[in-house]
Amino acid sequence: MAEFARRNYELTSAFNRDNFADTAEAAMEWARYRAETGETADAVTQIHAAMPEIRKMYMVGGMLARYVQGSARVYNRAGLFAPAEHNAREALDAWRHGQLPEMHPMAAACLEDLGGALAGLKRYREAIPALEKSLEIYRGLGPAYAKTADRVEVVLNQVRNLQ
């Protein structure tokens, strides 16, 4: 997937020279995959470059939440927990201001990233409710999210043991 995201970014930036928004979106997608494969420094650099354009395009709602949540995920993977917390909270705010449903995978992902960031900052008592709510949402979404819920439950139990 990372290779496809990279190729999409390269094609988008080569053929959409006048549309910086498309290139920024492609950069954000590639950054997520890069972070998952361990290229966190490059992913963080891409996020810093792309976010100003993303913020011009999306002021509130699901799309802003999607990209800001993605940046929180990258920051968490990079061990940059303060910006991860900030972006996870911003993503939650964008989601809520867009009056989007709480029972949604994006809301769960935002809470998961918030809990991970707070745990990384050793603020375990704050992390636990965010992770619990994320787990509740994932479990409520049904069998398609069972593996994701199991992953969050493992993290939640680890954080509980640290407090």
pLDDT in tens, the chain (163 residues): 656 555 655 555 556 555 567 788 888 888 998 999 999 999 999 999 999 999 998 888 899 999 999 999 999 999 999 999 999 999 999 999 999 999 999 999 999 999 999 999 999 999 999 999 999 999 999 999 999 999 999 999 999 999 8
What is the chain's Cα-based Rg? 16
pLDDT tens-digit map of 53-70: 999 988 888 999 999 999
Domain check: are 124 and 76 in the same one? yes
The CB density around residue 65, as the number of other CB atoms within 10 Å, is 26
CATH number for position 89: 1.25.40.10
* Nearest CA-CA partner of 106 in 147, 132, 68, 161: 68
Q: Which two tokens stand for residue 104?
A: 């949604």
pLDDT tens-digit map of 95-124: 999 999 999 999 999 999 999 999 999 999
Cβ atoms 60, 39 nearer than 8 A: no
Report the helix count and the strand count for the chain, using DSSP H and E. Answer: 8, 0
Domain check: are 108 and 40 in the same one? no
Domain check: are 75 and 149 in the same one? yes
Domain check: are 33 and 79 in the same one? no
**How many independent structural domains does the chain possess?**
2
